[in-house]
Structure 1
Amino acid sequence: MMGRLLAFLMLAMFTAGAARAQAMRDMVADFDAFAARTAGMAEGARVAAFKRTLGPILPGIYDPTSSAGDRAVARALAQWPVKRGAILDARDRARAAYRTGLVRFGRAFPGFRPTMPVYLIHSLGQMDGGTREIRGRAVLMFGADVIADIHAGEAIAPLVDHELFHTYHQRFFADCPQLWCPLWAEGLATYVTVSMNPNATDSELLLDYPAPIRAATDARMRQALCHARANLDTTDETLLSSFTDGSHKGGPYPARFGYYLGYRIAEHMGRDLTLDQLARLKPAEVRDRIARAIDSYGRCGNATD
């Protein structure tokens, strides 16, 4: 009994400490207040006021320097009365998923301690979740507007877990320009997300964006694996984008198929290693482990298609 009580108290202390260290800043509320306060302004003056008022809080996000960026601000403000309810609902669901996500991560990754600032924002259509740099410091952001658009009625926990894992994984694994790096980083994040959310749908895992990825890749899995095997060290941007870019068109594989391919590779490696052991693998050994995981499906020879 005392042991269970102690465990409960330790978990409660972790959760409270994490919440204090890593409170999510809700800038959707700032956007809402600004939109209400400036509803009667002319578009140009309203955009200028937005950049002047909110731009200093999120430089690089809320202070666009291009006409396209200004149009995005104007469009978001003009659409706010119609989209407000759905975005505020997405905001509330994201906040709840983040609070429970901190607890889930404390259990799955004992060394996890949240340190990166977290913002919940109207992203002007830029993201559902991801890291950005603000004043030279990496921050984690969740875009309630995009969450409302592409995760309507869905669980938000898989998205939160995916992005939280990236903040943890970067302690042990640095980006590199070769294909094997994003293949590992995104594939492992997807595998962790599936492991922590076993009932998640492909839509919640973004494995159907911009079109279903799983079935189309499974149909050519051997060729896809050999294609990756032959190009693990490439830095060619066009080839890299064919694996990870949602806007990529053409070729025999669906856009962003590298996320699913990396997931299957991490899944294979996870037969022998825990999630935390996978996260802590040294970069020097990851590349060869990926190659061996692919080879375990059968030798590719010189296959490159």
Structure 2
Amino acid sequence: MMMRSAAALAGLLACTTPVFAGVCQTTNLMPEVLAFRAATAGLPPDQRAARFVTEVVAKHPEFFKSDIFGNDDELRGYAVRLFDPDHPEHFGDYPPLTDAKLAAFSADFPKVFASAETRFAKAFPDFACTTPILFGPSFGRFGGSGGVGPDGVYRMRFGIDMLAMIESPSDLPVLFSHEMFHVHHSQVLGNALKQNLGVVWWGAWVEGLASYVSYRITPGATPKQALAWPADLYERMQAPGAMKQASAQMLLDMDAKGKTYGLWFHMNESYPGLPSNAGYYMGYRMAEALAARYSLPELARMSPDELKPLIRAYLTEQSK
């Protein structure tokens, strides 16, 4: 294949990174990434990855410079996954990522995000979305991830290659709404939210409420979609005795952190008889119960001091 000239490549990469028109400040790196892939298609994968780090990554430290990717050497190693046609990116049992799927997904997701943003702003009129949101390749490292960049600014990032592998188009509205709620929740609660991060009962509430909100405001969504991972989480927690067992255990673990937190919220970790990420389901059910008495905006603004006795009472009742 004839390679494009360096000047042509420079012209492709000099284009302005697209920004969506909406409430959130969004930056989409995918057109630049796809242009780079097309322009370097004839090079060996390791050379493509090396050039990607110097020609693309260097321009966008806000997306790529974090502990998720490590230093430039580590980043080059991850980037090879996106630039080796003989060993395409893959995750678990999902089909490998193809050029056609990545291109189609990259073309579709901005419209889906814009629609989800409109619905979210309608459900939460005080939604300010001061957190920058970025879309780019994570080389299979994450689908959605919040983090502080080298400039000290907190941003929400979406790994479009990862999402193209593990999500269907119908799942995206729920995913985007879930992550937008985290942005909104952090903004309306401020330090009150941050002070309790990593504590079991608060983790259940924060993740469960985001899951419940994404279900409630997305037309046609199902609880299974809202809880997402593992795929059978909702069904397994519907099994006889599962809710009772989980409620009794979470009562004991309410204020726990560290390894115990991981049993509720980390993949491939769980209590015997319960699925991974059972904490998401428990929080979903808490939010569902309280939504009978409070609106979604009211739930978003409830402080930890207000919520903790309500959650303890809920778990106590469910454990009987």
1:174 aligned partner: 193
1:12 aligned partner: none
User: Is 1:187 aligned with 2:221?
Assistant: no
CA RMSD across the alignment: 2.4
CA drift of 1:123 comes to 1.5
- On the 8 A contact 1:21/1:114 being kept in 2, the answer is yes
- On the 8 A contact 1:118/1:140 being kept in 2, the answer is yes
Structure 2's unaligned 5+ residue stretches are: 1-19, 90-96
Secondary structure at 1:132 match in 2: strand
2:101 aligned partner: 86
1:71-110 Cα shifts (integer Å, max 9, x gaps): 3210111147962221222223321121112211221111
Most deviating of 63-72 and 244-253: 63-72
- On the 8 A contact 1:93/1:156 being kept in 2, the answer is no
**AA at the equivalent of 1:77:** F
User: Is 1:140 aligned with 2:156?
Assistant: yes
1:207-231 Cα shifts (integer Å, max 9, x gaps): 3x23411121222111101111111
Most deviating of 46-55 and 254-263: 46-55
Structure 1's unaligned 5+ residue stretches are: 1-17, 300-305
User: Is 1:243 aligned with 2:264?
Assistant: yes
How many residues are matched?
280
CA drift of 1:127 comes to 2.1
1:162 aligned partner: 178
**AA at the equivalent of 2:254:** L
Q: Give the Cα separation in 2 of the matches to 1:269 and 1:249.
A: 26
From 54, 70, 77, the counterpart of 1:71: 77
TM-score (norm 2): 0.79
From 232, 251, 269, the counterpart of 1:229: 251
Most deviating of 283-292 and 180-189: 283-292
- On the 8 A contact 1:242/1:248 being kept in 2, the answer is yes
Structure 1 stretches of at least 4 aligned residues deviating more than 6 Å after TM superposition: none
Q: Give the Cα separation in 1 of the matches to 2:25 and 2:107.
A: 14
Q: Give the Cα separation in 2 of the matches to 1:199 and 1:104.
A: 13
**AA at the equivalent of 1:218:** Q
- After superposition, residues 1-305 of structure 1 pair within 5 angstroms as 19=21, 22-56=24-58, 57=60, 58-60=63-65, 64-65=70-71, 69-79=75-85, 83-134=98-149, 135-171=151-187, 172=189, 173-175=192-194, 176=196, 177-197=198-218, 199-202=220-223, 204-207=225-228, 209-219=229-239, 220-235=242-257, 237-248=258-269, 251-297=272-318, 299=320
Q: Percent identity?
A: 25
- On the 8 A contact 2:105/2:164 being kept in 1, the answer is yes
CA drift of 1:63 comes to 6.2
CA drift of 1:164 comes to 0.4
1:176-233 Cα shifts (integer Å, max 9, x gaps): 23111211110000111111125214553243x2341112122211110111111100
Most deviating of 74-83 and 172-181: 74-83
Q: Give the Cα separation in 2 of the matches to 1:259 and 1:63.
A: 26
Secondary structure at 1:139 match in 2: strand
TM-score (norm 1): 0.83
- On the 8 A contact 2:204/2:279 being kept in 1, the answer is yes
- On the 8 A contact 2:270/2:277 being kept in 1, the answer is no
User: Aligned in 2, Cα 1:278/1:202: closer, same or farther, shift over 3 Å?
Assistant: closer
Most deviating of 57-66 and 32-41: 57-66
Q: Give the Cα separation in 2 of the matches to 1:76 and 1:202.
A: 32
CA drift of 1:295 comes to 2.3
Q: Give the Cα separation in 2 of the matches to 1:165 and 1:183.
A: 14
CA drift of 1:54 comes to 2.1
